[in-house]
């Protein structure tokens, strides 16, 4: 179904602009009118990462007048495999600065608004209210749900994509016009329950495929061209090289956009899991009774074990590929999925088991599971990242 253009046309194009955007002006569905709408458009890109990078480049090249970029991160060398707005010389710089430079290099007339922050329940509405639509390439669930919730309240389209390994998903959520994000994905998964690209990996070019679909949908929304992905979820499998469109529907009982949704609740609140929140709160103050070993203490215990004065198993519950990047010497691998499936700890019979993961989420879950089975399991808060920071900087972070 064709929809009216989201943005009214801006001023007439100059002769130089007509030359520059000639290939757009030739498009029957876009033309001079559509190009003026793009010039007047205000588009927010959340995350200058794998999906945000290609989207930013194509939005800039398309002549979008104002592009906002939200990111609180700095560029790291692990980003360069897929985050193509950043280069080697940008490592250590704020991603919003690096992204702004990349946009300026392609489209000097585009105004870039830098939001160097992580959106929260207070700032999300303030930031998003200034834009016609949002492209969401966030790498974490709390931000996705916040953005989805804020877009639904503001009634603006939420162009959303996600990638993992060789797979991608992309859709346009739009409360009032079709389903919102929470209609289809009603609850945030528990922390660390869904592996991220930092854990499972991602093919860089898959980000380009999904990010360029997001940019295409943004251009279509602004100019009123074609049929946008409202009510359809595109599912991409790069290994089979397929794209399947799955119909998705509005949920009349949706806690975010449904008729009985509470408009006074805090942003993102309706989609949080009670159990996950409770577990998280308790874990923070230790009241779950989960015993912990700090990384410095772990280093001391490992030295004691090497000297034959301590006996315990150091269990790594990450994925095999993560061990190829970094590992704590003397640890054994059992991915958290296998712990969930009931696998026993290698060499664990009756011994104390000290559990670590990357940052602490998976190890906490594994410790709870093992303790429920009677294993004397201890958690290493902060995981191998804390080890790398506080004990052995030669172990790379990732």
- For residues 72 and 52, what is the distance between their CA atoms, to the nearest angstrom? 13
CB of 175 to Zn ion, least distance (A): 6
Nearer to Zn ion, 127 or 183 (CB): 183
Nearer to Zn ion, 180 or 391 (CB): 180
Tokens matching residue 380: 């290493």
- List the beta strands (DSSP E) in the chain: 42-46, 66-70, 111-115, 133-136, 158-164, 167-173, 232-237, 242-247, 312-316, 331-333, 352-356, 377-379
First CA to last CA across the chain, in angstroms?
44
CB of 248 to Zn ion, least distance (A): 10
Q: In what order do the strands lie in the sheet with 312-316?
A: 331-333, 312-316, 352-356, 377-379
**Which residue's Cβ lies closest to Zn ion?**
254
Tell me the CA distances in angstroms from 348 to 109, 120, 270, 343, 377, one per residue in order.
63, 42, 41, 11, 10
CB of 171 to Zn ion, least distance (A): 13
- What would the DSSP string read from start to end of 323-383? HHH---TTEEE--HHHHHTTPPPTT-TTSEEEEE-SSSHHHHHHHHHHHHTT--EEE-TTH
What's phi and psi for 208, nearest 5 deg? -65, -40
Nearer to Zn ion, 146 or 183 (CB): 183
The catalytic residue among 183, 207, 254, 357 is 357
197 is catalytic: yes
357 is catalytic: yes
CB of 257 to Zn ion, least distance (A): 3
Nearer to Zn ion, 128 or 207 (CB): 128
CB of 219 to Zn ion, least distance (A): 25
Binding site for Zn ion (CB under 5 A): 180, 182-183, 254, 256-257
The catalytic residue among 197, 207, 254, 257 is 197
Nearer to Zn ion, 257 or 353 (CB): 257
- For residues 371 and 380, what is the distance between their CA atoms, to the nearest angstrom? 14
Residues serving a catalytic function are: 197, 357
């Amino acid at each position: 179904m064709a929809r009216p253009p989201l943005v009214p046309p801006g001023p007439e194009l100059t002769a130089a602009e007509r030359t520059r955007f000639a290939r757009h002006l030739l498009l029957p569905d876009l033309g001079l009118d559509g190009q003026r709408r793009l010039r007047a458009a205000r588009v927010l890109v959340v995350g200058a990462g794998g999906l945000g990078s290609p989207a930013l480049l194509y939005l800039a090249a398309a002549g979008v007048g104002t592009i906002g970029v939200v990111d609180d991160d700095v560029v790291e060398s692990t980003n360069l495999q897929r985050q193509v707005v950043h280069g080697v010389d940008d490592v250590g710089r704020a991603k919003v600065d690096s992204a702004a430079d990349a946009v300026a290099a392609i489209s000097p007339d585009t105004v870039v608004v830098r939001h160097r922050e992580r959106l929260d329940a207070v700032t999300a509405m303030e930031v998003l209210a200034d834009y016609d639509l949002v492209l969401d390439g966030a790498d974490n669930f709390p931000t996705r749900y916040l953005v989805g919730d804020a877009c639904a309240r503001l009634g603006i389209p939420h162009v959303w994509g996600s990638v993992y390994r060789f797979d991608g998903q992309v859709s346009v959520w739009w409360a009032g016009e079709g389903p919102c994000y929470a209609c289809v994905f009603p609850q945030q998964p528990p922390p660390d329950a869904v592996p991220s690209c930092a854990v499972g990996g991602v093919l860089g070019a898959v980000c380009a495929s999904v990010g360029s679909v997001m940019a295409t949908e943004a251009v279509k929304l602004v100019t009123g061209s074609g049929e946008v992905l409202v009510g359809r979820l595109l599912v991409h499998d790069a290994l089979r090289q397929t794209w399947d469109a799955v119909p998705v529907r509005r949920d009349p009982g949706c806690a975010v956009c449904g008729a009985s949704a509470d408009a006074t609740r805090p942003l993102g609140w309706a989609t949080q899991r009670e159990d996950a929140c409770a577990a998280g709160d308790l874990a923070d103050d230790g009241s779950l009774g989960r015993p912990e070993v700090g990384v410095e203490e772990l280093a001391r215990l490992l030295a004691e074990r090497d000297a034959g004065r301590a006996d315990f198993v150091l269990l790594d519950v990450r994925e095999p590929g993560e061990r190829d990047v970094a590992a704590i010497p003397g640890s054994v691998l059992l991915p958290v999925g296998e712990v969930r499936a009931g696998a026993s700890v290698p060499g664990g019979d009756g011994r104390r088991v000290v559990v670590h993961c990357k940052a602490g989420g998976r190890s906490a879950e594994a410790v709870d599971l093992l303790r429920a089975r009677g294993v004397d399991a201890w958690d290493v808060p902060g995981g191998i990242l804390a080890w790398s920071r506080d004990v052995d900087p030669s172990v790379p972070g990732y």
